[in-house]
Structure 1
Amino acid sequence: MSEERIKDATKILNFRRSLSDYRPHFEIIGNYRLIDDGIRPEATIMLRANGREMHEADTGVGPVDALAKVLKKSLKSIFPEVDEIKLIDFSSRIFDPGAGTAASVEVEILFSNGREGWRVRAFSENINRAAFL
């Protein structure tokens, strides 16, 4: 995928969210739950989309996979195109190496539906939260 076809989804979302008439396609109700026993992580989510509330759970190869799968599972009945979206690349870096495992993290994720690509960046002191923002 050529770099010029990759959209900066973080900038696009931040701009749209700044508009007074912005309405999200879905919203997470409360928090997501992630149980990672080191063998088969499980994610649970409650969300609202198009006036419907959904509560789903799924497992994954790792925590990011579990979160992505449960989100897709929740949304694909309303937005079937979400099933085409795949994670292409995932990277993270810490900002304060002196803080060790308590350091804040930036996560950068590249997604594609096979025609377009989107790059998303998020910051948090929790890598799982940054991956899900």
Structure 2
Amino acid sequence: MPAYGFAHLRNRRHHPDVLEYLERIQDTLDPFHGRFVIHGPPAEVVEGTWPGSMVLIEFPDLATARAWYVSPAYQDILRLRTDHIEGDVVLVEGVGPRYDPRERAAKLRAGAGSPDDGPEV
């Protein structure tokens, strides 16, 4: 099951450290088969508000995403971003190709899951 590293970044500044982070991050992702799916384009907000930008990185699975995040190579460059950009980062498991939201609704109706167990939208 694929997993994702999702970042909601706010108050971005193009500090030299951030540019170095951008130059080095791909080398930290390659051993974990991580790839950028979204990397900071302006979003078209159709509901609510969305200050900032987003980054979405895909990994083969959640264990691999976790291993990348705690890897010495990534931890070595992390402060280059966090010292200059405010944001939230989460690692989350994706849904498989056969995911059907109707099955999720049926489980919730039957009381077999909590609202925090999975995707709603």
TM over 0.5: no
> More strand by proportion, 1 or 2?
1
> More helix by proportion, 1 or 2?
2
Higher RCO structure (Cα 8 Å, ≥6 apart): 2
**TM-score where L is the length of structure 1:** 0.24
Query: Which structure: larger Rg?
Result: 2
**TM-score where L is the length of structure 2:** 0.26
